[in-house]
Amino acid sequence: MPMKRRTIILGGGAIVAGAGIAFMARSRAGEPISLQSFDWQASDFRAGGTAGINGALPEPIFRAEPQCIATLAQTLGPCHTNDVPIRSDVTEGVTGLPTRISLRLVEASICKPVEGADVEIWHADARGVYSGEAAAMCNADDAEARATGFLRGRQVSDANGVVSFLTVYPGWYPSRAVHIHLRILLGNRELLVSQLLFDDALSDLVYQGHPDYAARPVRATMNGGDTVFASGDAARFIFDFEKLDTGVLQASYTIGIAA
C-alpha cells in the first residue's frame, strides 16, 4: 500500500510534503496574518488534552529547505520559571486541543543540525493562564496554577536537531497574539530566547469552535498587532502546521541559530 501523502500549511499556503516551497504572508497592524487554504472544522480535532492518545504519532514534516536564518531574539519575559523538567508531554492533565510542537535546530550559516541542545518551551493554557511561581500578571489570584508546572518542559535535540513536545493549543491573553516561548541552551551557553506564533485563521477555528476554548471571549490581538514583534517580522515566525489523522494538530518550525 502506498504511503499516504500529508499536507502541511506554510504560513497559510498549503503544499504537499516534498513539493516546492513558497512562503507568503502579509501584516498590517492589528490585522490577521494568514493566507490559509484549509477547510477543517474544530470537530476534526480531539478535545480534552492529550489523555487517550495511544501509539506513536507520525514523524514531523519540516520544510524541504529550512529557513536557516537567525531566529528573532526576545527576553525571557515575566512568566518564565526555573527547574523545568525534561519531558515530552508537558500538559500535566490540562485540557485543550492536543498539539505536538516540533522544532528543528540548525546553524543559520550552513543549515547543519544542532545536536545536544537543551530546548525549553512554555505557554499559557486555554484560559490564557501560565503555571508556576511567576509574575502576578501570569496567573494572578490562581493559587492552583501557581502551585503546578503545566505547559512547561525541556527536551534535548537529537542528531537531526529535532525536539518534539506534546501539549495543547495555547490560549490567548490581552495585548498578545497566540504564541509559545522557547529558550535554547548548549552546555552553559544560551543560544536563543524567542517566541513563535500561530496562524490567525487557525486560532479563529480553535477559539470559535473547539469545546475546550468555548468559554473565552473574542480575542483582541492578531499577529499583525502583536507589539513584541517589530512591524513586518511576525509573518516570519508562524508555525507550519498540519492535522494528523489522530485529531492532533502538528506544529513545526525550523530555528536558525546564529554562531
Residue 16 has pLDDT above 60, yes or no: no
For residue 3, what pLDDT is reported?
52
User: Is residue 67 classed as helix, strand or coil in its secondary structure?
Assistant: coil
Give the integer Cα–Cα distance in Å for 139 and 152: 14
Per-residue CA distances from 151 to 91, 196, 221, 249 (Å): 5, 15, 22, 16
Per-residue CA distances from 193 to 64, 127, 145, 176, 196 (Å): 25, 24, 24, 17, 11
**Region 111-138 average pLDDT:** 96
Residue 90 has pLDDT above 80, yes or no: yes
Percent of the chain with pLDDT over 70: 86
Q: Is residue 251 classed exposed, middle or buried when 0-12, 13-18 and 19+ CB atoms within 10 A define those classes?
A: buried
For residue 26, what pLDDT is reported?
43
Residue recorded with cell 490564557: 128
CB atoms within 10 A of CB 116: 12
For residue 80, what pLDDT is reported?
96
* 140 contacts: CB under 8 Å, gap ≥ 6: none
For residue 72, what pLDDT is reported?
67
Q: Flag whether the pTM goes above 0.85.
A: yes
Maximum mean pLDDT: which of 53-62, 92-101, 187-196, 214-223: 92-101
Band the pLDDT of 259: cuts 50, 70, 90: low
Give the integer Cα–Cα distance in Å for 114 and 156: 10
Which residue, 240, 213, 188, is CA-closest to 67?
Answer: 240
Q: Which of 54-63, 92-101, 115-124 has the lowest mean pLDDT?
A: 54-63
